Amino acid sequence: MILRFRIVLIAFVLWTVFVWANRISNTLRSEESVGAKTFSTVLSIVMLGFAVAVVVVLVKAWRVPVTAGGGKALVGAAALTVVVWLVRVPQILMADHGAPFKIVHVMLGVVSVVLAALVWQIGVAAVRHGRDGQPMEGSRA
């Protein structure tokens, strides 16, 4: 796997852990209803689970090319990230929060979606090359 792909995947994982671990921390300290806290915590755990899946793909790809299965995991993580933020940003903008809160959270979403788009590209290329039985270009260590 070429260095650029490694950097993208590492950045995606670190960013995802930063965002969703902080969400869990904020949720536990919030005055939200039990249902809202439960939903936020479960969503955060799911997002962290996908970050772990990306770590697994990254570790495996350190020695061998990304497989089609690994590519599908990357595409899934990227797609879920985009869907979550496409839902979450309008909710935040319509909620009763001040402008600074809204700006920060929109920026969190923008960075998440940009990183997800890069991960998506890596995943799609891996799936495409995995079907052909050819390693992804530049995927050797």
Mean of pLDDT over the chain: 91
pLDDT surpassing 80 at residue 1 = no
The predicted-structure confidence for 4-21, as pLDDT tens digits, reads as follows 999 999 999 999 999 999
Q: What are phi and psi of 89, to 5 degrees?
A: -60, -50
Cβ atoms 105, 22 nearer than 8 A: no
Of the listed ranges 48-52, 65-69, 76-80, 97-101, the one predicted with least confidence: 65-69
What per-residue confidence (pLDDT) applies to 137?
53
The encoded tokens of residue 100 equal 């600074």
pLDDT surpassing 80 at residue 84 = yes
Residue given tokens 């890069």 in the structure block? 118
pLDDT surpassing 50 at residue 101 = yes
The encoded tokens of residue 136 equal 């992804």
CA neighbor of 123 nearest in space, from 81, 89, 86: 81
Cβ atoms 93, 77 nearer than 8 A: no
The predicted-structure confidence for 19-64, as pLDDT tens digits, reads as follows 999 999 999 999 999 999 999 999 999 999 999 999 999 999 888 8
Task: Return all residues near 69 (Cβ < 8 A) that are at least 6 apart.
Answer: 130
Q: What is the DSSP string of 84-108?
A: HHHHHHHHHHHSS--HHHHHHHHHH
Of all residues in the chain, what percent carry a pLDDT higher than 70? 91
Task: Return all residues near 71 (Cβ < 8 A) that are at least 6 apart.
Answer: 122, 123, 124, 125, 126, 127, 128, 129, 130
